[in-house]
Amino acid sequence: MPHAFDRRLAAGPLLCDGAMGTLLYARGVSLDACFDVLNVNQAKVVQSVHSEYIAAGADCIETNTFGANRFKLAVHGLADDVRQINLRGVKLARDVRESMGRDVLVLGSIGPLGKYLAPLGTVTADEARAAFREQAEALLEGGIDAFVVETFSDLTEIALAIETIRTLTDLPIVAQMAFTDEGVTFAGRLPAEVARTLRELGVRALGANCSVGSSTLYEVLEAMAPEAGGVPLAIQPNAGLPHRIGERLMYLSSPGYMADYAGRMIDAGARLVGGCCGTTPQHIAAMRRVLDARAPASTAEPRPAGAARVIETLETPGLRTTLAPTLLGRKLEQRDFLVSVELDPPRGHTVEKLVQGAKLLKERGVEIVDINDGSLGRVRMAVLPTAILVREATGLDINMHFTCRDRNLMGIQADLLGAHALGIRNILAMTGDPPRTGDYVNATAVFDVDGIGLLEVLRRMNEGLDATGNGIGEPTAFCVGAALDPGAQDPGREVERFRRKLEAGARWFQTQPVYDLEVLDRFLARVGGSPVPVLVGVLPLHSFRHAEFLHNEVPGITIPDGVRARLRAAGDGALRAGIEMAQQLVSEIRARYAGAYLMPSFGRFEVVAEVLDVLR
């Protein structure tokens, strides 16, 4: 027996509701609040939105559960409340429907997880399936009429959601992806490809929603129509793009404008129309009037989409750069013993002391320096300008550390492209220390991706693509390394990450400070050896107190009891003992590993210079 949604859709075009978040925001809910938990603690506010859309003439209302998956709810400490919030969301919608006496369909809304899937992010396919299953089961238990899987930018993620739902039920699924104002998804997929993929997944309706306004989604609709294979199309645009006026976000598309486009969309083949961000009950009421006026012709065949705009990618992947390898890259290829010294960007806005230290190191034979990127979450000059200033003043080759903490995925790629344009092509890809360890404990972190995801971003750039598969023109020529903690407290996790970093394209590894090479030997034996060079971290110790601080308070550094005991016994001669131990370690590294990575403490470049005398 056909489902109610199927019967209604076969009878004629359906009008969905508009924005939920926009109206909740207008009622005083903060933009950074958890809208989904309002199902539990502010039920009447949510129900007032449903009732206004039903009164405006909507045939379908969506549950207030768009972000009610465990990943998004975890941000608000609600990861264990997925079932309760989704069940409650369905009940609120059903109760309003019954109280108003209209035969309105309740669609269970499922949005993206809010985390990138591996390999770009850290969420595995199994974890994604589990999260989608958890939410879908609760919506089913609540008694929805159909699912709407909406606002996805990743075809892989939406496919996981649809496939997971299909293991639970044969209820209809409406699948909608978000598009940019260039008419492609945020992952660079064309409308035709999206339509073909969603059609093959067996959805009841497919289309687009959110992000852009009516005119762009109308063109997306026309491009989808020839590839939909008879699957009904669903289009729910924003009310234009948002503008900030004072402290409020305003959407400028009028009800009449959106209603006119809704009629044109129906004429072009859409069977489900409505609105997304910025759309109000007034917009839906205007659309209702347009749809009612077209009712006699609503069963006409969709017209051909011959006028559809052809959207093409402008760049061709697979180009090969002709840039010469960096000095670091050449040394890695030639297997020369490689020495690099770390420089911390200054706490202020001048680099004179740093430049003088770099010049001293150059005089001692150093050719490559590492520029740190806010280690321990401390506030310092940004890494890229520091790298440029040091290089211009000294001529040294730069290995720039790059962390994921302070930049979203867009900012990461923008900064990397800028670095490449400025000639900084050696990158040590790192996750980065969280702000809570540093100067501003209340500062927020981004972490769209971790160090492995960053390696994946860099690998794709070297193939001429951005993170979502769009062409960037000529490929970059980054020489990319990764961090290694051989003494990690969870060695199994570090082994797994080591292998994933290799798969993502790491050309070398740099370790945390090591004070016992047997620790590194054991780790590499566990992974079957490293197929790429390993640079061993060396941080000379200045005193017993220095060693105790590093051992007990700095993540990732373990100093053996014997080393600390020697420094304690040395008393006033502890610095000399620290230098001698570092020299002995560098000599051992030279005999067994590809290079040494030295880290001055307290800006004492002369200490590192003395350690390097052992190589002469």
Q: Give pLDDT tens digits for 24-50.
A: 988 888 877 899 999 999 999 999 999
Cβ of 568: how many Cβ atoms within 10 Å? 15
What pLDDT shows up at residue 556? 77
pLDDT in tens, 97-138: 999 989 999 999 999 999 999 998 989 999 999 999 999 999
- Across the range 427-444, mean pLDDT stands at 68
Percentage of the residues of the chain whose pLDDT score is greater than 70: 91
- Across the range 426-440, mean pLDDT stands at 74
Domain 337-615 has CATH 3.20.20.220: yes
Q: How confident is the model at residue 574 (pLDDT cuts 50, 70, 90)?
A: very high
What pLDDT shows up at residue 406? 79
Q: Is the pLDDT of residue 236 over 60?
A: yes
| Higher pLDDT among residues 438 and 520, named by residue | 520
Q: What is the DSSP letter of 165?
A: H
Only one residue has tokens 């199927």, namely: 6
Q: How confident is the model at residue 306 (pLDDT cuts 50, 70, 90)?
A: very low
Question: Among candidates 521, 563, 523, which has minimal Cα distance to 539?
Answer: 563
Instruction: Find the angle CA(103)-CA(106)-CA(110) to the nearest 5 degrees.
Output: 165
pLDDT in tens, 51-71: 999 999 999 999 999 999 999
Region(s) of the chain under CATH 3.20.20.220: 337-615
Q: How confident is the model at residue 1 (pLDDT cuts 50, 70, 90)?
A: low
Q: Is the pLDDT of residue 299 over 60?
A: no
Q: Which of 36-40, 270-274, 358-362, 434-438 has the lowest mean pLDDT?
A: 434-438
pLDDT in tens, 316-330: 333 344 588 999 999
Distance in angstroms (rounded) separating the CA atoms of residues 217 and 219: 5
The verdict on whether omega for the bond into residue 119 sits within 30 degrees of 0, i.e. cis, is yes
Q: Spell out the alpha helix ranges (H) of 225-326.
A: 255-267, 281-294
Question: Among candidates 442, 416, 449, 445, which has minimal Cα distance to 433?
Answer: 445
What pLDDT shows up at residue 313? 27
Region(s) of the chain under CATH 3.20.20.330: 4-297
Do 451 and 501 contact (CB within 8 A), yes or no? yes
Highest mean pLDDT among 362-366, 447-451, 549-553: 362-366
End-to-end CA distance of the chain: 85
For residue 104, is it left (φ>0), alpha (ψ between -120 and 50) or beta?
beta
Q: How confident is the model at residue 438 (pLDDT cuts 50, 70, 90)?
A: very low
Q: Is the pLDDT of residue 537 over 90?
A: yes
What pLDDT shows up at residue 107? 98
Residue 534: strand pairing partners: 509
What pLDDT shows up at residue 507? 97
What angle, 0 to 180 degrees and rounded to 10, lies between the N-to-C axes of helices 155-166 and 191-200?
A: 20
What pLDDT shows up at residue 551? 86
Question: Among candidates 221, 227, 166, which has minimal Cα distance to 193?
Answer: 227
Q: Is the pLDDT of residue 468 over 80?
A: no
Distance in angstroms (rounded) separating the CA atoms of residues 450 and 493: 14
Do 159 and 185 contact (CB within 8 A), yes or no? no
Q: Is the pLDDT of residue 587 over 50?
A: yes
Q: What is the DSSP letter of 613?
A: G
- Tokens representing 303? 């017209």
What pLDDT shows up at residue 471? 85
Q: Is the dihedral of CA 377, 381, 383, 387 positive or negative?
A: negative
Backbone angles phi, psi at 137, to 5 degrees: -60, -40
Burial of 274 per CB tally in 10 Å (0-12, 13-18, 19+):
buried
- Across the range 383-389, mean pLDDT stands at 95
Percentage of the residues of the chain whose pLDDT score is greater than 90: 77
Q: How confident is the model at residue 211 (pLDDT cuts 50, 70, 90)?
A: confident
pLDDT in tens, 138-161: 999 999 999 999 999 999 999 999
Domain 4-297 has CATH 3.40.1800.10: no
